[in-house]
Amino acid sequence: MNTKRILVTGGAGFIGSNFVRLMLSEQPDYFIVNLDKLTYAGNLKNLEGFLKHPNHVFIKEDICNGQAVEKIIDEHKIEVIINFAAESHVDRSITGPKIFIETNVTGTLTLLQAARDKKIERFIQISTDEVYGELGPTGKFTEETPLAPNSPYSASKASADLLVQAFGHTWGLKYNITRCSNNYGPYQFPEKMIPLMINNALNNKPLPVYGDGLNVRDWIHVEDHCRAVLKVLTNGNQGEVYNIGSSNEKTNLEVVKTILKLVDKPESLITFVTDRPGHDRRYAIDSTKTNAQLNWHAETNFAQGIKNTIDWYLQNKKWLDDVTSGNYQQYYQQMYADR
Ligand code: NAD
Ligand code: TYD
């Protein structure tokens, strides 16, 4: 079989690096060019042991640099682009939305223009269920749910999705869009709820639960997400959107209590803090279409997945200490000082 040459953007981040490691470990027929700006969220340590893999090239670059992207596509004979690169944290999008528009909207546009001009076979946009807005106590997001984003982050991701569809409609660019629910697992930066709570619990620091702690998220293990993206890459129907989820809704309080129990720390560490402005109440994703069409099913149940994730953070204390030194302390002070 011919080697497939794919450009993965954001492959030094949480989900992107899990995807790159999965591909290099199990899919010898793919050559991966990994383009990442290495923002605070990008970390080459996420690729340890894989950086020099013969089917992998890492390039530090910004997806907003169209000339560089075109040059990379030419030089590496790229056939498919998978765009994981993004500013990804809702709280940061509230304190500073501009970079979210630059990377998530302008950056995606830049990649789309290059994909169109260089006649890329397929463009896969890694989106999020947050583009659908929020749910009340019942129902789930399907691929037909209208886009109704609420945060600057989700608005920027929805804008990117619409641009992808517009390039398909206007220029015939072949594409897929995936919309996944909240991920957890190894290498997640501890600004997101699960690794932040694990890190705080391990350090006997208060666990800052926003509002009443009853907001619901639908958790999926990152490896399940990555396997779904691989299915979309191999079997996705042109021009279709695929929801990805694992039917695992939990309130934030349930998740935090589970973490405390697993690390054997007291619930007295839980501290209720001021709510996030515009905090979406509930997300739940219906991935029936992806299950049926792509024969993909999430394999990790939350009880096992969260246990493995905690074990990973315990075994990778150095990774955690490295990413929480320096700028992270300043971030934490600023984000949580007034709460
Ligand atoms: P992350 O913040 O951990 O990683 C983002 C990566 O993109 C980093 O390596 C960063 O350096 C890189 N990057 C940022 N700006 C860039 C730029 N201008 N040019 C090149 N690289 C740049 O994010 P993540 O959690 O791994 O999310 C990856 C993708 O999946 C995002 O598109 C996100 O919207 C989407 N998503 C995330 C979740 C989740 O729960 N984390 C759920 C659904 C969808
Ligand atoms: P997060 O991991 O930031 O993902 P998202 O906002 O994209 O869903 O947050 C998950 C949930 O946890 C969300 O309801 C906000 C809440 N949360 C807290 O209660 N405390 C925190 O310190 C953080 C970061 C999040």
Greatest pairwise CA separation for the chain in angstroms = 57
Per-residue pLDDT, 1: 63
Q: Rounded CA gap, 41 and 8, in Å?
A: 16
Atom of ligand 2 at shortest distance to CA of 197?
Answer: 22
Which member of 36, 79, 87, 130 is catalytic? 130
Which strand (E) or helix (H) includes residue 83? strand 80-83
**In angstroms, what is the span from residue 268 Cα to ligand 1's centroid?**
33
Q: Residues 129, 134, 191, 224: which is the catalytic one?
A: 129
User: What's the confidence (pLDDT) of residue 337?
Assistant: 87
Examine the residue annotation and report whether 224 is marked as an active-site residue of this protein: no
Inter-CA distances, 114 with 166, 252, 301, Å? 15, 40, 39
Which of 128, 129, 217 has most ligand 2 atoms within 8 Å of CB, for mutation? 217
Residues 6+ positions from 156 with CB-CB distance below 8 Å: 86, 87, 93, 97, 100, 101, 103, 104, 105
Torsion (CA) 98, 104, 110, 116 in degrees, nearest 10 = -150
Ligand number with the minimum distance to the CA of 254: 2
Gyration radius of the chain over CA positions:
19
For residue 101, which ligand has an atom nearest its CA? 1
**Measured from the CA of 43, which atom of ligand 1 is nearest?**
9
Catalytic residue among 30, 132, 153, 184: 153
Q: Is 157 in the pocket of ligand 1 (CB under 6 A)?
A: yes
What residue ranges define each of the domains in the chain, with the CATH number in brackets? 4-336 (3.40.50.720)
Give residue 326's pLDDT: 85
d(CA 180, CA 220): 8
Residue with tokens 């979406």: 280
**What CA–CA distance (Å, rounded) separates 190 from 314?**
13
CB 21 within 8 A of CB 52: no
Beta-bridge mates of residue 250: 217
Dihedral sign, CA of 64, 67, 71, 74?
A: positive
10-residue mean pLDDT series, the chain (339 residues): 93 98 98 98 96 97 98 98 98 98 98 98 98 98 98 99 98 98 98 98 98 98 98 98 98 98 98 98 98 98 98 96 92 90
Is 129 one of the catalytic residues?
Answer: yes
Question: Which amino acid, one-letter code, is at 178?
Answer: T
Pocket test for ligand 1, best of 7, 9, 15, 34 (most atoms within 8 A of CB): 15
Pocket of ligand 2 from Cβ distances under 6 Å:
90, 182, 192-193, 196, 208-210, 215, 217, 252, 276
